[in-house]
Amino acid sequence: MITINEKEQVFHLHNGRISYLLYVMESGQLGHLYFGRQLRPEGSYRHMVEKAHRPMSSYIAEGDLYTSYEHLRQEYPTFGTSDYRYPALEVQGPDGSALCKLEYQGYRAIQGKKPLPGLPATYVENPQEADTLEVHMLDPWRRLEVVLSYTIFRDFDCVARSVRFANKGEETLFLDRAMSLSLDFPDADYETVQLSGAWARERAVKVRALEPGVTAVSSMRGHSSHHHNPFLALKRKSTTEHAGDAYGFSLVYSGNFLAQAEVDNYQVLRVMLGINPFGFRWRLDPGGAFTTPEAVMAYSPEGLNGMSAQFHRLYRSRLARGPWRDKERPVLINNWEATVFDFDEDRLLRIAQKAKECGVEMFVLDDGWFGSRNSDASGLGDWQVNRRKLPGGIGGLAEKVGRLGMQFGLWIEPEMVNKDSGLFRAHPDYILQTPGRSASHGRNQFVLDFSRPEVVEEIYRQLHALLSSADIRYIKWDMNRSISECYSAAWPASRQGEVYHRYILGVYDLHRRLLEDFPDLLIESCASGGGRFDPGMLYYAPQGWTSDDSDAVERLKIQYGTSLVYPLSCMGAHVSACPNGQVGRTTPLDTRGNVAMTGAFGYELDLGRLGPEEIETVKAQVAFYKENRRLLAQGDFYRLLSPFQGNLCAWQVALPDGARALVMVARILSEANGPYRRLPLRGLLPGRKYKVTGKYLSYEAYGDELMQFGLMLEDKSSGEVRDGSGPCRDFSSQIYQVDAIS
Ligand code: DGJ
């Protein structure tokens, strides 16, 4: 999948569908030629370089009035060598100069893909699945070696990139900016798509037209954040969900990030993705090395949905790991919204018992079971059970839940501490704080300094004991505040710029150690809902709590936006009680079920409070999910109607062979005397006959009709109300089943 034209010094990564081309410039810098739909492997493509004399440019060689890095598309631009755009790399030496010039040294092409030390990354299961090109660069003045690594996958239209720096000189260097990816496009006629929001309204789809200057999203909160996701896409104005060029850039990282698109005044576009340079400074001593997180680039000529499909397949099968990657996930019930901190063993067992009767497979005990945790003001840091609430301990409760025929799962928030806790009283210096200065709190809690191995070790010790003490199959790993006043008492002044990154490395390390000890553990990541819903976490936790907002209508937008990058298999989604705790809305139980089912499904309420009819609905939902969970988790996902654009939202999941599809259609507000509607489906076989089954309708049609004319929706409202829960009602929805007739 890598063709190298030695004579022309052009490297061509291709997999039959996409091409990525780079070359060595005469000056020794690495230049970029092309990324997009596949070009034929045998061409040279060096002539694609465009340069012209431009006033007010700086030129790299005397006598040459053409060659300026300002106008050349580059692979990994540095600062101060005639390029006035933001560089990918900024490195400072002891003389205070930030000049850096990288020269090509050679390359290595390898089959397969190497892991990144201490960092989450995509992987291969056998070397034939991918090829990796490593390009070796050197700043001869600083003796800084830079290895740019590119992996192209056989089965996914993605290229994964990362960069490794090694100080081969004798002076200490400081990396002030070390992006994972930089990519120069020949034109800027694109719109950017970003996923932005806030707590309880994460990952809303926002589209901006590019103009000269910088368009960026970032996090400086110490986690990827509810506010912006470490992702950016480019699309042409004419690109739709299903047609047109779409490029996606996604960072496999959970800390501060920057995703930026810069348009220069010649309409050249530079995209960058990596650790946020703000708050970052890595000291690279002689002999030292640093590896950036991995960035994944996806391309599809089939619109944004095509781009998402590439991310979904790659992330579901070659980023998520472990036995739970492909296993059916248990239907769970979580007690948080039902009880908050107010529970004892009897109450929990009653919730579990009722859930068991409905077919739920796992009971998850949320916050409040440990230390002095009766509110959010105390207890974090003390991961020992509160025997006043649970006299038999976690082991006793897990056993009783087991006797009901259910698995047991538990909530933890390992990175945090309350001042009112044994851990803080013993180690007040364990939090991130500038000595002598006050530290802000969030939700009454402080952030443990996970950049320090001894702090991680202390939490590991406690959690290892906890997980060894009972049959705990699942962990909900929460993280409920952003980092402020980031400073570690353990590191010298010259290393304070490393603390944010070292913190997240500590978080990854704790995940790694616990999973090594308990390889069958299913971890669900969480950060006040979706505050750390990123590919980095997905490597350790194959599912994440998508949002604290469990209202079915809000979830339409949240899950729709999330699906731009993330597969359904990783979106934790629960049916909760009404009126909804976050927005006070009352939605029909079937809509809550239909929306939650297109995710890692569960319940978050006391089912004992439901009437007999509702219990029957829950039983039917659980049974339907169990029958279809493999399809829902592993099938091809299509966004059909956007809740950001109208009153209807629809999405579809289909078996890759087109034999069966489920189509979820939700209508937010009821309509009086509305139009007839048809919904064109995707991913079916045109010549195959299907049976369509809705709540009230059933008919047969060929795939071509269903994809061209569309599925005939039964959301008519012209006085056709059949019963209260029927089609004419606010927040109505249904799942249509489309089955090939053999
Ligand atoms: C925030 C989470 O998102 C909730 O689901 C719940 O676990 C609470 N924390 C518990 O404190």
How many other C-beta atoms lie within 10 A of the C-beta of residue 129? 18
**Same domain, yes or no: 152 and 172:** yes
Say if residue 266's pLDDT is above 90: no
Closest alpha carbon to 254 in 221, 300, 207, 288: 221
**Residues 625-639 pLDDT 10s:** 999 999 999 999 999
Question: 636 lies in a domain?
Answer: no
What distance in angstroms lies between residue 323's CA and the mean position of ligand 1's atoms?
26
Question: 635 lies in a domain?
Answer: no
CA–CA gap between residue 695 and residue 693 (Å, rounded): 7
**Same domain, yes or no: 345 and 485:** yes
Inter-residue contact 180 to 166 (CB < 8 Å) = no
The three-state (H, E, C) secondary structure of 327-384, written as one string: CCCCCEEECHHHHCCCCCHHHHHHHHHHHHHCCCCEEEECCCCECCCCCCCECCCCCC
**Same domain, yes or no: 241 and 352:** no
**Same domain, yes or no: 576 and 718:** no
Which of 318, 344, 368 is a domain's end point? 318
What are 429's two structure tokens?
């210096």
pLDDT at residue number 726: 53
Inter-residue contact 529 to 515 (CB < 8 Å) = no
Say if residue 724's pLDDT is above 70: no
**Same domain, yes or no: 311 and 336:** no
**Same domain, yes or no: 365 and 413:** yes
Percent of the chain residues topping a pLDDT of 90: 93
Which of 318, 352, 383 is a domain's end point? 318
Question: What is the length of the chain?
Answer: 742
What distance in angstroms lies between residue 479's CA and the mean position of ligand 1's atoms?
8
Question: 507 lies in a domain?
Answer: yes
Which of 630, 656, 676 is a domain's end point? 630
Angle (deg, nearest 10), helices 393-403 and 345-357: 20
Confirm or reject: Cβ of 478 under 6 Å from ligand 1.
Answer: yes
Confirm or reject: Cβ of 477 under 6 Å from ligand 1.
Answer: no
Which residue in 139, 478, 551, 606 is the catalytic one?
478
Q: Tell me, what CATH number does 731's domain have?
A: 2.60.40.1180
**Same domain, yes or no: 499 and 645:** no
pLDDT at residue number 695: 87
**Residues 504-545 pLDDT 10s:** 999 999 999 999 999 999 999 999 999 999 999 999 999 999
Q: Tell me, what CATH number does 355's domain have?
A: 3.20.20.70
Which atom of ligand 1 lies closest to the CA of 366?
7
**Residues 38-71 pLDDT 10s:** 999 988 899 999 988 989 999 999 999 989 999 8
Question: 362 lies in a domain?
Answer: yes
How many other C-beta atoms lie within 10 A of the C-beta of residue 426? 11
Q: Which residue range is the domain that position 677 belongs to?
A: 641-740
**Same domain, yes or no: 493 and 590:** yes
**Same domain, yes or no: 137 and 192:** yes
**Same domain, yes or no: 429 and 376:** yes
Q: Which long-range contacts does 237-240 make (Cβ < 8 Å, 24+ apart)? A: 237/189, 237/190, 237/191, 237/209, 239/191, 239/303, 239/304, 240/303, 240/304
Confirm or reject: Cβ of 336 under 6 Å from ligand 1.
Answer: yes
What distance in angstroms lies between residue 275's CA and the mean position of ligand 1's atoms?
27
**Residues 407-464 pLDDT 10s:** 999 999 999 999 999 999 999 999 999 989 999 999 999 999 999 999 999 999 999 9
Question: 60 lies in a domain?
Answer: yes
Q: How many domains does the chain have?
A: 3
Helix (DSSP H) and strand (DSSP E) numbers for the chain: 12, 38
The rounded mean pLDDT for the chain is 96
Confirm or reject: Cβ of 75 under 6 Å from ligand 1.
Answer: no
CA–CA gap between residue 107 and residue 478 (Å, rounded): 42
Question: 324 lies in a domain?
Answer: no
Element housing 591 (H / E)? helix 589-597
**Same domain, yes or no: 582 and 729:** no
Q: Whose CA is nearest to atom 10 of ligand 1?
A: 367
Question: 323 lies in a domain?
Answer: no
**Same domain, yes or no: 78 and 227:** yes
DSSP code, position 114: P
482: helix, strand or coil: coil
CA–CA gap between residue 632 and residue 692 (Å, rounded): 17
Question: 351 lies in a domain?
Answer: yes
Q: Tell me, what CATH number does 77's domain have?
A: 2.70.98.60
Confirm or reject: Cβ of 529 under 6 Å from ligand 1.
Answer: yes
Confirm or reject: Cβ of 548 under 6 Å from ligand 1.
Answer: yes
Alpha-carbon Rg for the chain, nearest whole angstrom, is 27
- ω into residue 41 within 30 of 0, thus cis? no
Q: Residue 477's Cα: distance from chain center in Å?
A: 16
